[in-house]
Copies of this chain bind each other. A is one copy, B any other.
Amino acid sequence: MVDYSKFFSEYVRSIKASDIRELLKIVEKGNVISLAGGLPDPRSFPKDEIAKIAREVIERFGEKALQYSPTRGVSYFLEAVKNFSIRHGVAVNEGDGIITTVGSQQALYLLGRAFLDPGDYVVTEEPTYLGALQAFRGIGVRYLTVPIDEDGMRTDKLEEVLKKAKSEGLRLKMIYTVPTCHNPAGTTLPMDRRRHLLELAEEYDLIVVEDDPYSFIAFEERDVKPLKTLDRSGRVIYLSTVSKILAPGLRLGWAIGPDPLISRMELVKQEIDLHTSTLSQYIAAEAMNRGVIDRHIPFIKRLYREKRDAMLAALEEYMPEGIKWTKPIGGLFVWVWLPEGVNSRKLLEKAIEKGVVFVPGDPFYPSGGGENTMRLNFSYPSPEEIREGVRRIAEAIREYQG
């Protein structure tokens, strides 16, 4: 018998499979209502149009669409992303580059490898996106976290955090933020805070990573512009993806930012996988250029607004006193603050007994805390499941408290 463990690298030994993820995997196979996932509703995929496009791009451009392609991306797709971005209010400036990635997750991984060293500090919201923490995990970075309120990152607190860090001589490099329809918190940062954040990035000479998978499908109007568009000095790297506007199964994302930064991400990507699926890029480029995505977005917005409404109504109706939650204008999640002292991991055990699951909030807090928070997903379950799921969670809370 071979002792395989002796072959494991130090790095892989340090990766702990998430206990919550493992638990949910098992439980979700049973007959439970899941508000734990993060999947888009499959009805949000314009299936028939994608099928038609797939066939046509292969027939028409097969020699290219099925061939190896450049690490940075197929120029036909990069051009489509540029036009799509500009059409939707995301500035692509002279001197900017674009790189295609295997979903936004890979963009985060590339950012980590290209710009972060062990001991560097990343500044982020608290709670923050778990995928970013995973992407940076192997590097040995540390976090400075900034609390949020119902409007997202408290930039007054950000200022305090940066000031303190500078006085302590910490190696600060990057602010990572999801300013619009935050995952997991569901918040959207107002314009004045966006400007404040950029001023601070300027003052402290930081790069800003704006992770923006959701703004194209925000279902309520807000007068906000992407940080990328507000950026005057070229320090924002903007990430997005077709996962929520076309189909996540294409595994297709992109990063737009100053070319010297994008070209460093390209060097790392070349080592990892040479390039992103050429076929996915051709399909998405056509879907952008033919207006398939633009025409489909209103439907996706209606779909998620209805579900968000169902969740907010159920929270309003069933939740006991002393519980707060965000009112997202888009995205897939509502964030819930339980009363101090309620531990959402323990609550989850009770919830499972009642046939409902959610994600406890503490893994989203890289500096610890968040034990009394949880994330609820409304994009995948039906309005009926949302209503019944929230009812059961409320019941579990009452039992927990009482």
Once the chains are docked, how many angstroms separate the CA of A62 from the CA of B11?
37
Chain A interface, number of residues (Cβ within 8 angstroms): 82
Instruction: Report the minimum CB–CB distance from A131 to chain B (whole Å).
Output: 7
Q: Are A39 and B54 in contact (CB under 8 A)?
A: no
Instruction: Report the minimum CB–CB distance from A39 to chain B (whole Å).
Output: 6
Q: Which residue of B lies closest to A38 (CB)?
A: B68
**A270 interfacial by beta-carbon distance below 8 Å:** yes
Q: Are B2 and A235 in contact (CB under 8 A)?
A: yes
**A76 interfacial by beta-carbon distance below 8 Å:** no
Inter-chain contacts of A251 with B (CB < 8 A) = 273-278
Q: Are B173 and A250 in contact (CB under 8 A)?
A: no
Cβ contacts A258-298/B at 8 Å (1 or 0 each): 10110010011011111111111001000000000000000
Q: Are B58 and A50 in contact (CB under 8 A)?
A: yes
**A168 interfacial by beta-carbon distance below 8 Å:** no
Inter-chain contacts of A145 with B (CB < 8 A) = none
Residue A272 contacts which of B68, B109, B250, B252 (CB distance < 8 angstroms)? B109
Residue A51 contacts which of B47, B59, B114, B174 (CB distance < 8 angstroms)? B59
Q: Which residue of B lies closest to A69 (CB)?
A: B249
Once the chains are docked, how many angstroms separate the CA of A51 from the CA of B50?
12
Inter-chain contacts of A23 with B (CB < 8 A) = none
Q: Are A9 and B280 in contact (CB under 8 A)?
A: no
Inter-chain contacts of A40 with B (CB < 8 A) = 67
**A138 interfacial by beta-carbon distance below 8 Å:** yes
Q: Which residue of B lies closest to A258 (CB)?
A: B4
Once the chains are docked, how many angstroms separate the CA of A103 from the CA of B248?
19
Within 8 A of B (CB), among A102-136: 102-103, 105-106, 109, 113-117, 131, 134-135
Task: Beyond the given A2-B258, A137-B271, please list 15 additional residue pairs across the A-B interface where CB-CB is below 8 A.
Answer: A2-B235, A7-B115, A10-B117, A12-B268, A15-B268, A15-B271, A45-B66, A47-B59, A47-B66, A48-B59, A50-B62, A67-B249, A102-B273, A106-B272, A272-B272
The interface of chain A, by Cβ under 8 A from chain B, is 2, 4-12, 15, 17, 39-40, 42, 45, 47-48, 50-52, 54-56, 58-59, 62-69, 101-103, 105-106, 109, 113-117, 131, 134-135, 137-138, 173-174, 205, 207, 233-235, 243, 247-252, 258, 260-261, 264, 267-268, 270-280, 283
